[in-house]
Amino acid sequence: MNAGRRPGTAQGVALLAATVLPIMGVVSLAPVLPRLLEVFGDQPNVHILVPVALTAPGLCIALLSPVAGVLTDWLGRRTLLLAGLGLYLVCGLLPFFLSTLPQLIASRVGLGVAEAIIMTGTTTLMSDYFTDGERQRWVAIQGGLGSLAGSVLFVAGGALGAIGWRWPFALYGLALPIMIAVAAVIWEPKRRQVLDVARDAAKAPFPGRAMAVLALTTVLCAVVFYLAVIQLGLVLQGIGVTSPATIGAVTALGSLGVPIGAFVYSRLGRWSLGKLLALALVCTGAGLVGLGFSKSVPAVFAATALNQFGCGILLPTLILWAMNTASLRWRGRVIGLWNGSFFIGQFLSPVSAALIAKGAGLPTTLALFGGLTVLGAILAFALGRRTVMVGAHPKPI
């Protein structure tokens, strides 16, 4: 880092605030989806194009995060992050003034490019700035904050949508104060100084094999990470619950398991990566199995809470694994590839569940995914026994 500077709370808070912005890509607009269908109802293929407008940012993150990682390593973390925040601000606010669906979709694609840059840059900088227990603490906060921010933004998007369909886009103006904060407190790590301290690690080739394992694991974990939340409404309908208020309450209360899981994760600093991943997958998988067999609202809530608790441990564990996979020289690329892998899994989650549920039914599908996830936990525990994690640094036993 720059001489005389030591990262602390100001830098961590600024980076965490920036990580909230990509969450707005979908959740702030989801409540006004029916309204958008009405507004653009006279345009061809509106029932396809409006959902595309909502999900385009996520697809851009999946496809462009690896590119953002390369640029982060080449051009520098701070410069690219500020550029991404500026692009986010412009493209996020543009729909407030646009009037056609193609224009709206184009602005959303630009927003997705910005989100890929922001997600890659913030996680890379957090990895650069913090080590050991500090890194694990900030990663745990990041994991829990996402769920809470998603709930708040969903409510805010709905409230603004009651005023008019354009008003939820005003939320993207939050990027301005965050960009100012990043410009004020974030500095570019001095790569040469750090490389001199860890010369051997810096000169190591790109960790291709380790990255392949991480990417594959992340895709599979992301598939199960989103299953419960995406399918919960259908699960409740399957047991006769149709009230939107009840569905919303079960979803909101169950999702509180995520920050609780993230807090528990922050207290397990000396656990090995394999144990952390195994614990996360056992809880996530058991929750899915429970959803598959639930016949009452309390049972659905209990299974959802257990699943979300596991997800609260799973996400920071995967982030920390990505941070530990490469030295500073390759870190942007690794974080970018990890982001891309996670969002590919997000895209595949509802698709894979729908394909299997078409023949087997949703309860059986959830139980099947849950059982496979528990098996994955056993494998993670067995493979992870070869290393122990002290703080954020894996060391041989």
Split at pLDDT 50, 70, 90, the class of 193 is very low
At residue 203 the predicted structure's pLDDT band, cuts being 50, 70 and 90, is low
391 has a pLDDT exceeding 70? no
Express each pLDDT in 282-330 by its tens digit: 999 999 999 999 999 999 999 999 999 999 999 999 988 988 887 777 8
Which 3-state string (H, E, C) describes the chain? CCCCCCCCHHHHHHHHHHHHHHHHHHHCCHHHHHHHHHHCCCCCCHHHHHHHHHHHHHHHHHHHHHHHHHHHHHHCHHHHHHHHHHHHHHHHHHHHCCCCHHHHHHHHHHHHHHHHHHHHHHHHHHHHHCCHHHHHHHHHHHHHHHHHHHHHHHHHHHHHHCCCCCHHHHHHHHHHHHHHHHHHHCCCCCHHHHHHHCHHHHCCCCCHHHHHHHHHHHHHHHHHHHHHHHHHHHHHHHCCCCCHHHHHHHHHHHCCHHHHHHHHHHCCCCCCHHHHHHHHHHHHHHHHHHHHHCCCHHHHHHHHHHHHHHHHHHHHHHHHHHHHHCCHHHHHHHHHHHHHHHHHHHHHHHHHHHHHHHHHCHHHHHHHHHHHHHHHHHHHHHHHCCEEEECCEEEEC
Q: b/e per residue, 76-85, with b = 16+ CB within 10 A?
A: bbbebbbbbb
Among residues 311, 334, 314, the alpha carbon closest in space to that of 323 is found at: 334
- Give the pLDDT confidence score for residue 390 in this predicted structure: 35
The whole model's pTM is what?
0.79
pLDDT at 282: 96
Q: Match 């699943």 to its residue by tokens.
A: 307
In this predicted structure, the answer to whether residue 389 has a pLDDT above a threshold of 60 is no
The region of weakest confidence among 107-111, 190-194, 300-304 is 190-194
Tokens of 77: 């973390």
Q: Identify the band that residue 110 occupies on the pLDDT scale cut at 50, 70 and 90.
A: very high
Q: What is the mean pLDDT of the segment spanning 128-157?
A: 81
Ranges of CATH 1.20.1250.20 domains, the chain = 9-189, 208-390
More confident residue, 245 or 241: 241
How far apart CA 288 and CA 302 sit, in angstroms, is 11
The CATH architecture to which 208-390 belongs is Up-down Bundle (1.20)
Please write the tens of the pLDDT for every residue from 265-279. 888 877 888 899 999
Quick one: average pLDDT of 184-210?
A: 66
Look at residue 4 in the predicted model and tell me its pLDDT: 52
Q: Does domain 9-189 have CATH number 1.20.1050.10?
A: no
What's the pLDDT score for residue 148? 79
Percent of the chain with pLDDT over 70: 91
